[in-house]
Amino acid sequence: MAAIAVPENTRVFLLDIEGTTTPITFVKEILFPFIRENLEEYLSAHWEEDECKQDVHLLKKQVKHTLLLSLDAVTESYVVVLLWFCGRVYPDVVPAIRCWRRGGLKVFIYSSGSVEAQKLLFGYSVEGHLLDLFDGHFDTNIGAKVESKSYENIAERIGCQPEEIMFLTDLAREAKAAEDAGVNVAVVVRPGNTELTGEERSRYRVITSFNQLKLSGNV
């Protein structure tokens, strides 16, 4: 695996979830069948409970946000909102984030799944409680992931320049939106992700593991 240099002015890593920190196969092969099989029974058993009402409310809100977006975004949104059991995380993710943090960089999550759902995923992951790895979370309340304005909003909220952010995602159209805002990007190739075109491969930094990203003098 070739090492890829992270631009020296990088102060913040911004991470997508599905296809980046977390396997899409987990979502498609485990989570979806589980949801299909259990959702109706779960909802009818818990419909009157406050927590269930809140989840359904959250889901409605998410769907409203994502209806204008791609099927991928809707899927990701459903999945993360409905995630009530152990979130999977690729094995290279946690060690790399710890290394970046030791180097003084900040790490944020940006997903179509709600902030609450993101916290469930990383709070109850197969690698344990991981929320202390992150400086904050963004969802589509800040804007859609395919719109460059969202990345400007994120930079403003973090209090840095877009050029100081490095965004990791599996989707080229999200990478493009981030790049249009001045954010540096790397596209993450994982098993089961949407394949990149030849042009996308040559245009973006492409990694198959977070370990490939090498810091040099970043503060």
Q: Which is nearer to Mg ion, 22 or 218 (CB)?
A: 22
Give the binding-site size for Mg ion (rule: CB under 5 A): 4
> How far is it, in rounded angstroms, from Cα 21 to Cα 210?
9
Nearer to Mg ion, 109 or 155 (CB): 109
Q: How far is the CB of 125 from Mg ion (least distance, A)?
A: 17
Q: Pick the closer one to Mg ion by CB: 172 or 181.
A: 172
* β-pair partners for 165: 12
**What six digits make up the tokens of 22?**
């977390």
Residue 200 tokens, joined:
């996308």
> Least distance from C-beta 3 to Mg ion, angstroms?
23
Q: Which of 137, 8, 24 is nearest to 72 (CA)?
A: 24
- What minimum distance in Å lies between the beta carbon of 23 and Mg ion? 11
Q: How far is the CB of 163 from Mg ion (least distance, A)?
A: 22
Minimum CB distance to Mg ion smaller for 27 or for 155: 27
Q: Which residue is nearest to Mg ion (CB)?
A: 19
What is the DSSP code string of 115-170?
HHHHHHHHHTBTTB--GGG-SEEE-GGG--TT-HHHHHHHHHHHTS-GGGEEEEES
Nearer to Mg ion, 16 or 139 (CB): 16
Contacts of 105 (CB under 8 A, 6+ apart): 10, 11, 12, 13, 215, 218
Cα 217 to Cα 10, 35, 110: the distances in Å are: 9, 45, 25
Q: C-beta of 64: minimal distance to Mg ion in Å?
A: 20
Positions in 6-45 near Mg ion (CB under 5 A): 16, 18-19
| SS3 (DSSP) at 29 | helix
Q: Is 139 in the site for Mg ion (CB under 5 A)?
A: no
> x-or-dash pattern for Mg ion, window 149-178, by CB under 5 A?
---------------------x--------
| Contacts to Mg ion by CB under 5 A | 16, 18-19, 170
